[in-house]
């Protein structure tokens, strides 16, 4: 008789003596068959077994136009079974038995047909209407975007980044990062033709069956965030289906012993691991995924994404910190910070602080008080441990604690997101000390641009601490590159939107023109290697996806006559400038 289960197939034959003759007869008959006849029999038996497996496991209803790709046994065990209900793909974990599977299916269907009041149904999403550029500055930004987009389309379409000098492309993850990152920018700028073309590529050309390791953090903020934002603004469910598929493939990262996610995962094999260069992950990487995973849960009705990512919040909250400040490295296996690790508001820690505040806002300021408490404590730690003022020109800046002890007067450009975040926090009740630091730090960040001949900021700036330099702000040669980063423009945007002061628009206009003068080339825009010499900027032949996804988007919104073009009381921007809805229930 034929016996089937989820793990194997066994053919049980009678073993009594009466069957011996039958077996010899069958063997003789089998040996008399030609090789062609045997192959036919094997094919028929194999087809029968495969069909039985499909029917038994419940996978027979997979869409005929998109068959399931065969998996190795381990992948079948690790990968959640999926079922498409309506147009939304949700996770259904492998059940222990058929009865449990049926119950789970019924529950999932009921939730999507009658969603809880705290989950928006697709019919309630978008489309949000944007009028397009309304003034000369916005039109200049749109022209810059179209110049970048046209050349990306010509030389790098479907690839991650454009190499404008060599008219080529660069692939990091092989996921068309520039297209996905720019979806909501296209929509906000009302570039309908370009948006429709990008949408078509996402629908037919974006596949996550990529046999390549990807970084959980980068793919979450750029791709998952981009798809979710495009869904919320346009109302097109295809983006949500794609987002759910990607979310499912990122879940293996959370299967560590500590609950701190692994930094990398192969989207095809679903195998997650720590970075190859270290057993530790960057703290910012494991704490800058929650906005996106929470939104995915509340958009699909499946709470698994929010559950696993929020456990990271709880774990980090439980760890010992220095005045609320966190080291820049954490181990996914032990769940502990690296001993004697640097404390910084720049690379590897920056967005941890940003997401404490923004998660609290995303949930309507009604849930998880420990997030806003951790944020408030951390900013107090910044004020007492990291803030310094230069001796001559009195520039306020944020330094680093090397090995958690030795102060270093070094500030990454990445830190220039903080003035905007501080002002956003003050808008929602944070103390006056946060506002003062926001204003002081914004001015210092502006000076990191203005003190360079190109009027473009370097990647890293140093400050005069004890008179070791004749300048209060100086740049080392190895740190003089500019990658077209958005962080300071992001802060200017918050200052303009919250205060209405057009001075911040003028500051941004100065920097926009510097980008136009020193980074615009024939076939797009390029990062440069030297902001200290207008005659030798050393173009680096790279246009990162965030230039279209963040920098030009923030410029466009900064120059808007309507400060509520994206209402920050209704949306919260993720770390890649993708707006996600604030839910007050």
Query: What are the start-end ranges of the E strands in 341-404?
Result: 387-389, 396-398, 400-402
- The answer to whether 483 and 459 have CB atoms below 8 angstroms apart is yes
Q: Is the peptide bond before 169 cis (omega within 30 degrees of 0)?
A: no
What residues are labeled active site?
Answer: 218, 350, 459, 487
Handedness of CA 389, 390, 394, 400 (dihedral sign): negative
Tell me how far CA of residue 169 lies from CA of 160, 164, 205, 548, in angstroms: 7, 8, 17, 15
- The answer to whether 30 and 22 have CB atoms below 8 angstroms apart is no
Q: 321 in the Ramachandran plot: left (φ > 0), alpha (ψ -120 to 50) or beta?
A: beta
Cα–Cα nearest to 527, from 451, 450, 454: 454
Euclidean distance between CA atoms 81 and 321, whole angstroms: 39
What is 23-65 written as a DSSP string?
HHHHHHHHHHS-HHHHHHHHHHHHHHHHHHHHHHHT-TTS-TT
Euclidean distance between CA atoms 229 and 225, whole angstroms: 6
Cα–Cα nearest to 514, from 463, 583, 421, 446: 446
Query: In this structure, what DSSP letter does residue 478 have?
Result: G
Cα–Cα nearest to 494, from 361, 308, 366: 361
Which residues sit opposite 410 in a β-bridge?
462
Which residues sit opposite 266 in a β-bridge?
213
Within 10 angstroms of residue 447's Cβ, the number of other Cβ atoms is 17
- The answer to whether 158 and 197 have CB atoms below 8 angstroms apart is no
Q: What is the CA radius of gyration of the chain?
A: 27
Q: Between vectors from CA 423 to CA 422 and to CA 428, what angle results, nearest 5°?
A: 95
Residue the block writes with tokens 């209704």: 570
CA dihedral 536→540→545→546, nearest 10 degrees, is -40
Euclidean distance between CA atoms 363 and 355, whole angstroms: 12
Q: 344 in the Ramachandran plot: left (φ > 0), alpha (ψ -120 to 50) or beta?
A: beta
The length of the chain is 585
**List of residues 6+ apart from 107 with CB closer than 8 A:** none
**List of residues 6+ apart from 54 with CB closer than 8 A:** 60
User: What count of Cα atoms within 13 Å lies in the side-chain half-sphere of residue 4?
Assistant: 12
Q: Is residue 369 classed exposed, middle or buried when 0-12, 13-18 and 19+ CB atoms within 10 A define those classes?
A: exposed
H helices present in 58-176, as ranges: 73-78, 98-113, 136-155
Largest CA distance in the chain: 104
């Amino acid at each position: 008789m034929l016996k089937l289960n989820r793990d194997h197939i066994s053919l049980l034959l009678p073993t009594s003596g009466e069957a011996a003759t039958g077996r010899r007869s069958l063997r003789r008959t089998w040996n008399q068959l030609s090789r062609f006849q045997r192959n036919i029999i094997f094919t028929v038996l194999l087809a029968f077994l495969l069909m039985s497996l499909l029917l038994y496991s419940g996978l027979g209803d997979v869409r005929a136009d998109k068959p399931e790709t065969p998996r190795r046994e381990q992948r079948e065990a690790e990968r959640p079974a999926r079922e498409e209900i309506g147009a939304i793909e949700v996770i259904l974990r492998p059940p222990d038995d058929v009865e449990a599977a049926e119950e789970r299916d019924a529950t999932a269907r009921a939730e999507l047909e009658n969603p809880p009041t705290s989950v928006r149904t697709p019919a309630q999403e978008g489309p949000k209407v944007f009028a397009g550029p309304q003034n000369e500055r916005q039109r200049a930004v749109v022209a810059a975007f179209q110049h970048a987009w046209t050349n990306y389309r010509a030389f790098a379409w479907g690839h991650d980044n454009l190499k404008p000098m060599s008219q080529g492309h660069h692939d990091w993850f092989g996921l068309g990062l520039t297209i996905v990152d720019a979806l909501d920018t296209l929509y906000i700028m009302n570039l309908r033709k370009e948006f429709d073309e990008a949408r078509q590529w996402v629908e037919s050309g974006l596949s996550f069956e990529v046999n390549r390791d990807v970084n959980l953090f980068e793919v979450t903020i750029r791709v998952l965030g981009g798809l979710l934002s495009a869904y919320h603004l346009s109302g097109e469910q295809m983006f949500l289906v794609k987002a759910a598929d990607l979310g499912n493939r990122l879940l293996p990262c959370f299967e560590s012993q500590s609950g701190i996610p692994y930094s990398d995962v192969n989207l095809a094999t679903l195998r997650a691991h720590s970075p190859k260069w270290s057993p530790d992950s960057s703290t910012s990487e494991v704490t800058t995924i929650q906005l996106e995973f929470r939104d995915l849960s509340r958009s699909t009705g499946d709470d698994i994404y929010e559950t696993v990512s929020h456990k990271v919040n709880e774990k980090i909250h439980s760890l010992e910190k220095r005045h609320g400040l966190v080291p820049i490295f954490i181990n996914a296996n032990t769940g502990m910070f690296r001993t004697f690790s640097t404390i910084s508001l720049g690379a590897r820690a920056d967005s941890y602080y940003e997401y404490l505040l923004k998660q609290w806002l995303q949930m309507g300021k009604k849930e998880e008080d420990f997030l806003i408490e951790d944020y408030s404590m951390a900013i107090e730690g910044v004020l007492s441990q990291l803030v310094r003022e230069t001796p001559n020109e009195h520039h306020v800046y944020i330094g680093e604690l090397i090995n958690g002890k030795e102060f270093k007067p070094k500030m990454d450009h990445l830190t220039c997101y903080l003035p905007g975040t501080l002002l956003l926090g003050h808008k929602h009740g944070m103390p006056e000390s946060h506002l003062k630091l926001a204003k002081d730090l914004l001015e210092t960040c502006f000076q990191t641009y203005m003190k360079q001949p190109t009027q473009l900021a370097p990647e890293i700036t140093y400050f005069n601490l004890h008179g070791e330099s004749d300048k209060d702000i100086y740049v080392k040669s190895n740190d003089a590159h500019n990658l077209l980063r958005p962080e300071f423009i992001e802060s200017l945007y918050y200052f303009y939107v919250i205060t209405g002061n057009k001075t911040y628009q003028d500051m941004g206009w100065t920097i926009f023109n510097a980008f136009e003068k020193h980074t615009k080339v024939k076939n797009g825009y390029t990062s440069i290697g030297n902001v200290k010499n207008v005659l030798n900027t050393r173009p680096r032949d790279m246009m990162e996806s965030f230039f279209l996804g963040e920098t030009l988007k923030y410029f466009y919104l900064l120059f808007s006559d309507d400060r509520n073009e994206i209402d920050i009381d209704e949306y919260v921007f993720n770390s890649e400038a993708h707006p996600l809805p604030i839910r007050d229930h």
